[in-house]
Chain A
Amino acid sequence: GESVGLHLPTLSVQEGDNSIINCAYSNSASDYFIWYKQESGKGPQFIIDIRSNMDKRQGQRVTVLLNKTVKHLSLQIAATQPGDSAVYFCAEIGDSNYQLIWGAGTKLIIKP
């Protein structure tokens, strides 16, 4: 079946350093991937997305990389700030038109 998973449940990063959050997926037919950020007590917030016809997409301080060969997705956050502290979820659009398949989540902790 389809699944989206994360390699690390918790990631601690020094403020100012770059963060890399990884995600693996199993459905090679998936063609759309999303990263969400969820701060404590809030709903998930869209960060960036990527379609399977791309390898890389950049936003403001964030970059998503997609490696279809090994079915791997990563989120890179440049110059990590205290406000980046949150749980980060990768998600995949499954075979249905509307259904998100979620990874387990990675908690990002910023050390001062």
Chain B
Amino acid sequence: DTEVTQTPKHLVMGMTNKKSLKCEQHMGHRAMYWYKQKAKKPPELMFVYSYEKLSINESVPSRFSPECPNSSLLNLHLHALQPEDSALYLCASSQGRDSGTEAFFGQGTRLTVV
């Protein structure tokens, strides 16, 4: 199984809503990531979890709150978002630098904030 599964595929939420994005992988990867991607741009790193611990937070606003319940799951909790937060949110996983380190990406959640 080389899949990273993200749910939901699409999400429309109001600025006062609270929602969560979910990500799951069963490849035994040690690192999991959240990326944000705007149209016609490369993905921008938001968070990195390594061994279920947050290791990198790229100065992301607190209205985005990541959570790693176990080594296979990664969530992104959303609260009080702004319209400019509308984007494709991508989850990825990888073993890390020293062993077959390509990152596998999910299909993304297309988020629209209204």
Binding site for B on A (CB under 8 A): 32, 34, 36, 41-46, 49, 87, 89, 91, 93, 96-100, 102-105
Contact = CB atoms under 8 A, between A and B. Distances in A.
B94 A105 contact: no
**Interface size class, chain B:** 20 to 34
Nearest to B30: A98
Nearest to B106: A43
B8 to A, nearest CB: 14
B80 to A, nearest CB: 26
A42 B42 contact: no
A45 B43 CA distance: 12
Given A41-B107, A97-B97, A105-B42, 17 more contacts: A32-B97, A43-B6, A43-B106, A43-B108, A45-B105, A46-B103, A46-B104, A49-B102, A91-B42, A93-B101, A98-B50, A98-B56, A98-B96, A99-B48, A100-B43, A100-B103, A102-B43
A105 B6 CA distance: 23
Interface of B: 4, 6, 31, 33, 40-43, 45, 48, 50, 55-56, 90, 92, 94, 96-98, 101-108, 110
B41 A99 contact: no
Nearest to B104: A46
Contacts of A36: 105
